Amino acid sequence: MLVAVLGAVAASGGSALGQPTSHAPYRLKVDAVAYHLPGNTALGVRVRRGVVAVDPTLIPLGTRLHVPGYGRGLAADVGYAIKGRIIDLWFPTTAAARKWGRRTVTITVYR
């Protein structure tokens, strides 16, 4: 029975974990939280505009993203508070980060 269920999920374009199995872009509703801190990411990249911290069980590191109102992004970091459908967006100043704050957005994930 489990094989039939997993087969049906795969045939419908998704995985047993709810993530698409194809390489087509997909949309995901997340809470996007702004931050401004210096340093390097989990991938060893210096933080800069476009660097996004993600939960790697939901969005694999190295994945390209588009965030409405922010632009292109690269899933290049993780954070202890980043669990599930939450992402962190890097901003060049504290003022810019405060202006963004926390928003619910629908991102496009490119695989």
- The whole-number pLDDT of residue 20 equals 56
- The whole-number pLDDT of residue 81 equals 86
Q: Give CA 65 to chain center in angstroms.
A: 7
- The whole-number pLDDT of residue 42 equals 87
Contacts of residue 8, defined as CB under 8 A and 6 or more positions apart, other chains included, come to none
Contacts of residue 99, defined as CB under 8 A and 6 or more positions apart, other chains included, come to 34
Q: From CA 103, how far away is CA 110, in angstroms rounded? A: 21
Domain 24-110 sits in CATH at 2.40.40.10
- The whole-number pLDDT of residue 79 equals 84
- The whole-number pLDDT of residue 10 equals 38
Cβ–Cβ < 8 Å for 52, 75: yes
Series of mean pLDDT values for 10-residue runs along the chain (111 residues):
35 49 88 94 91 96 97 93 95 97 97 81
**Nearest alpha-carbon partner for 66 in 105, 37, 101:** 105
Query: Both tokens of residue 8?
Result: 């049906």
- The whole-number pLDDT of residue 69 equals 97
Domain spans of the chain, in order of start? 24-110
- The whole-number pLDDT of residue 25 equals 94
